[in-house]
A and B are shown apart, each in its own frame.
Chain A
Amino acid sequence: MSVSSEQKVEHEVAGPAPHAAPAAAGTSWWKDEAQEPLRRNLGLVGVLLALFAIGAYIRPDLYSDADWVVNNIMVILTQAAAIGVVTVGMTFVIIGGGIDLSVGALIALSGVWATTLATQSFGPVGMIFTAVAVGIGAGLVNGALIAYGRLVPFIATLAMLVAARGLAAQISGKQTQISADQFINSLATTRIGGIPLLVIILLVVAGLGWVLLNRTTFGRRTVAIGGNAEAARLAGINVRGHTMLLYALSGLCCGIAAIMLTSLATSSQAAAAELYELDAIAAAIIGGTLLSGGRGTIVGSLFGVIVFSAITNLFAIANLPTEVQNMVKGAIIVVAVLLQQVRFSSITQFARRHGLTRAKPQT
């Protein structure tokens, strides 16, 4: 990968307004698009309020206790923390036109690698470093296979999913590895100003992700590549190098999530973080990220994660079985995607056909 050529591009592209990227992707009616995330996020807040109302209706005894309600919100957010961090990385990958099926396996691998007896002997710094380094390393392998090996992202990360779980099982000897490190274990129980540390980590990661996506050339290039990779390449963006970095970013998020999950469960194992890839993709999609790339928001993905976490919590409180919960989750994904299609293809086309919008808005 040629660092210098990318440097050059950065100097050239950094100057113009960030709107240059969507224009390069060849999207029209972006003004309408700009309104969409806000509408969608309001919709998700509405869903959260509805879930709260249903809970209050089913268990008035619990919801009438203010302390319990505050604590329950913290529980929902804590459970959203690890998967939320992963979803931030996933959102970048999907916006960039890819997909990362290996996130659950990478969390397991990072977690297992960070909790071997040898790693634990290096203390919390060694454990955190190992988890993050393993995540980034595996992410770079994904990225290199996709960007330079020209593998389809689906295939490359599927292979990583299988291989990483295998390696994790090999390292752990199929045993559950208990974390004896008090510092790591205390992360899950620490609260700062009444807010769990894990939730603060999630907010920090999401905040950094938001800045990276919306206020840097890196983020704008990600949108450009996802919108139209060929146009982005012709505009002088190092598409391959950038794609590789996106998967490394996803791997980094997996490493952070691995530490969070290890702290919560005071242990790690090769089967941990089961199906996190699907949860993260589903959350990104109901948050408004387009699976074909080029569009998505961090805030929307975050709401998506919290909605799923709130549903799990509500089902537990209502004592309903897991199978019903999974069916409801499936239905929510379908409805969210249907809404996406209805809003964007039919309505805008209908509007354009009847001359309700300008044929070519400002670019």
Chain B
Amino acid sequence: MTNPIPDTSRRRLLFGGTAIAAGALLTACTSNEQTPTPAQTKGADDTNPNAAAGKAVTIGFSAPAADHGWIAAITNNAKAQAGAYKDVTFKQVEAGKDAAAQRAALDTLIAEKPDVIVLLPHDGKELNAFGLKAMEAGIPVVNLDRAFPDALAYRLQIKGDNYGMGVAAGHYIGKALKAKNVASPIIGEIAGMDELELTQERSAGFKAALATYGFAVANRRAARFTADSGQKEAQNLLQALPKIDAVWNHDDDQGIGVLAAITAANRSEFFMVGGAGSKKAIEDIAADKTVLKATVTYSPSMASSAISLARLIAQGRGMSDLVELQVPKEVILASETITKENASTYLKLGF
């Protein structure tokens, strides 16, 4: 600080002081402490006979580390559900950033010989060979949500119903508009990432369900499952359609941005249906203060169910309500419709 030019010295002092203050504030700003949301688990203290402790088993688990609330909920639910059973040891491996990394991680998991592996693959087709390998090694594989093409590659397939989601949204909108006696309604659709098969299935189901009422989609925009892209596409959709009767938005996360755009444009002549069933969306539906009147589920609670079923498979038990002595090979969750009436029941499943 013995600089001959006083101007520079002052600048340094100011700059240094600001930098220190900035550092202090910034490090204080990364905390996200919050009351934990109750996990979507089915407790072991039920009257369910399957809840009784059985043989001790180890469940291996792997899911991608994606930047999306839904995937985060999948991993959290699996962990929490495994924790609810005293006879389950939960062994999670990082899935890395792509299919190759996940394959490598899973290979180390096979070497540890878990009793069963629960797996949400980056891509069902690319991980198919792993499924075969694990099954040949005598480890049953539970495929979570992203199907293997080869039936030999898994013991149990549990997944959501994308086509059914579209159908549920289509029926909700169709019935509501019929009840209002709207003759030729203008329906908008804000889809998720268009290159994904699941988006195409959702849109196909929506279209088919609307067709049974004689309705069609007037304008369809594809966003990116993010709030900022949802905002942008919604803003353009509202410009393209000066009067709308109903909108289906595929994803509640991008729906935050969609709702922001609708509020900013002061539009309220229509109602909206969401998708996936996030906690925020269910709360909005219950409060009934926005255009969001319903959402169709694609619940990450399927991860909890997958762990429960994997445990039964490893213990050689069946589902107590079914006659069969073993767990079935395929479980497809129905897409449920959450409205103001049942929102309180579903709130615990929101993520």
Contact = CB atoms under 8 A, between A and B. Distances in A.
Interface in A134-150: 134, 137
A13 interface: no
A144 to B, nearest CB: 14
A161 interface: no
Contacts of B32: 116-118, 171-173, 177
A113 B28 CA distance: 10
Given A118-B31, A265-B257, A267-B256, A130 B25 contact: yes
B232 interface: yes
Contact of B71 (A174, A177, A272, A313): A174
Contacts of A133: 22, 25-26
Contact of A176 (B222, B224, B227, B242): B227
- Count class of interface residues, chain A: 35 or more
Interface stretch (B61-69, B85-93, B143-151, B340-348): B61-69
Interface in B254-278: 256-257, 259-261, 263-264
A317 B256 contact: no
**In terms of DSSP, what is the predominant structure of the interface of chain B?**
helix
Contacts of B282: none
Interface stretch (B233-241, B300-308, B312-320, B326-334): B233-241
25 contacts: A3-B11, A68-B239, A79-B235, A116-B29, A118-B30, A126-B29, A133-B22, A171-B32, A173-B32, A176-B227, A178-B280, A189-B263, A189-B264, A261-B228, A264-B264, A265-B257, A271-B224, A272-B226, A272-B228, A274-B224, A274-B226, A316-B219, A316-B221, A319-B219, A322-B222
B26 A113 contact: yes
A7 B68 CA distance: 48
Contacts of A272: 226-228
B194 interface: yes
Contacts of A134: 26
A130 B26 contact: yes
Given A171-B32, A178-B280, A316 B239 contact: yes
Given A271-B224, A313-B239, A322-B222, A175 B25 contact: no
B47 interface: no
Interface in B112-169: none
A249 B226 CA distance: 26
Contacts of B72: 173-175
B181 to A, nearest CB: 24
Given A7-B5, A322-B222, A174 B30 contact: no
A269 B67 contact: yes
Q: Which 9 A-B pairs have the closest CB atoms?
A: A316-B236, A265-B227, A118-B31, A265-B257, A119-B29, A174-B72, A270-B67, A271-B67, A266-B260
Contacts of A312: 232, 236
B176 to A, nearest CB: 23
B140 to A, nearest CB: 29
A62 interface: yes
Interface string A309-321: 0001100111101
B14 to A, nearest CB: 12
Contacts of B34: 117
A243 interface: no
B97 to A, nearest CB: 9
Given A117-B33, A130-B26, A264-B261, 12 more contacts: A59-B240, A62-B239, A62-B240, A113-B30, A117-B32, A169-B65, A176-B226, A176-B227, A265-B231, A313-B239, A319-B240, A321-B222
B229 interface: yes
Contacts of A165: 67
B230 interface: yes
B227 A268 contact: yes
A262 to B, nearest CB: 8
Contacts of A168: 67
A122 interface: yes
A319 B67 contact: no
B227 A267 contact: yes
Contact of B235 (A78, A173, A175): A78
B29 A264 contact: no
Contact of A174 (B66, B225, B232): B66
Contacts of A173: 32, 72
B175 interface: no
Nearest to A174: B72
B285 to A, nearest CB: 16
A313 B236 contact: yes
A214 interface: no
B29, B72, B194, B218: which has the most chain A beta carbons within 10 Å? Answer: B29
A29 interface: no
B3 interface: yes
B42 interface: no
